[in-house]
Amino acid sequence: MKDLTYSKDDEFLLVTISYDGEAYPGQFFMVKTPVGPYAPRPFSAYDLKKGELIFLIKTGGELERFLKNSHKVLINGPFGNPMPILNHPLLLAGGAGYAPIHFYAKRYDFSEMVVGARNESFFELVDVPNRSVITLEPTTVLDVAKLSPLKNVIACGPMPMMRKTAKIFKDRNLYLVMEEKMGCGRGMCEGCAIMTKSGVKFVCKDGPTFLASEVDLEWT
């Protein structure tokens, strides 16, 4: 492990490790340390540059405790399918859901981005590119994004945000980067099941990016 960088309010963490492989926006890695947790945790790549792989993590989880007490991070991946490359999309992100959206913006062209967080310390931690709007509570990402006329949209964030996004942009070409708990990253444990018009699919091997019109976001 090369570096742990916390936001000023300790709510988010950037984890930087050495990595000489490749990854594409939307793909994720299973992450743990030699001392735990027993089951690795899935995290989307936030950035990959100059031999460094970076993850954006919300603090307070089990993995963070082990990261503080280990000089080594074990990763397996990348898993999942890359995000589709759309024509001048609108990019939407909330909280830790900014990770794959940021990686997309670093690799591909986009027209606009709206990123939301609870307070300013988040934006002091992460890099936000030009052509971006940031929102702080009580203003939400969707308060701003709903005014955009762009037809292609990619979003990632908490499930309440994703449900509202799907309703607001139901007539757009909307893709959702889904976040689910998972145990293996390969579809074997079947822990990240979602319901689609084609039946049950798994976020790890069939996603994590899905066309919003195909996903039942009310299914539990």
Same domain, residue pair 105 and 46: no
Binning pLDDT at 50, 70 and 90, where does residue 87 land?
very high
Residue among 88, 98, 86 at smallest CA distance from 123: 98
pLDDT value, residue 186? 80
Least confident of 37-46, 87-96, 133-142, 186-195: 186-195
Same domain, residue pair 50 and 74: yes
**More confident of the two residues 37 and 128:** 128
pLDDT at 1 over 80: no
CB 1 within 8 A of CB 72: yes
First to last CA, the chain: 36
Cα(110)–Cα(100) distance, integer angstroms: 14
Report if residue 83 sits inside a domain: no
- Residue 132 to residues 14, 57, 62, 116, 185, Cα–Cα distance (Å): 20, 21, 32, 11, 32
Same domain, residue pair 103 and 17: no
Report if residue 14 sits inside a domain: yes
Instruction: Say what the pTM is.
Output: 0.94
Same domain, residue pair 99 and 208: yes
How many residues does the structure list for the chain? 220
Mean of all residue pLDDT scores within the chain: 93
**pLDDT tens for each residue of 28-71:** 999 999 988 888 999 999 999 989 999 999 998 889 888 888 88
| Number of domains comprising the chain | 2
Instruction: Please give the structure tokens belonging to residue 195.
Output: 């319901």
Same domain, residue pair 103 and 209: yes
Same domain, residue pair 66 and 161: no
Cα(131)–Cα(213) distance, integer angstroms: 27
**pLDDT tens for each residue of 2-31:** 799 999 999 999 999 999 999 999 999 999
Same domain, residue pair 202 and 132: yes
pLDDT value, residue 134? 96
Instruction: Please give the structure tokens belonging to residue 175.
Output: 């893709």
Report if residue 219 sits inside a domain: no
Mean pLDDT calculated for residue range 192-197: 90
Report if residue 220 sits inside a domain: no
pLDDT at 194 over 80: yes
pLDDT at 220 over 70: no
CB 205 within 8 A of CB 80: yes
pLDDT at 184 over 90: no
Report if residue 84 sits inside a domain: no
CB 216 within 8 A of CB 181: no
Range of the domain at 182: 90-214
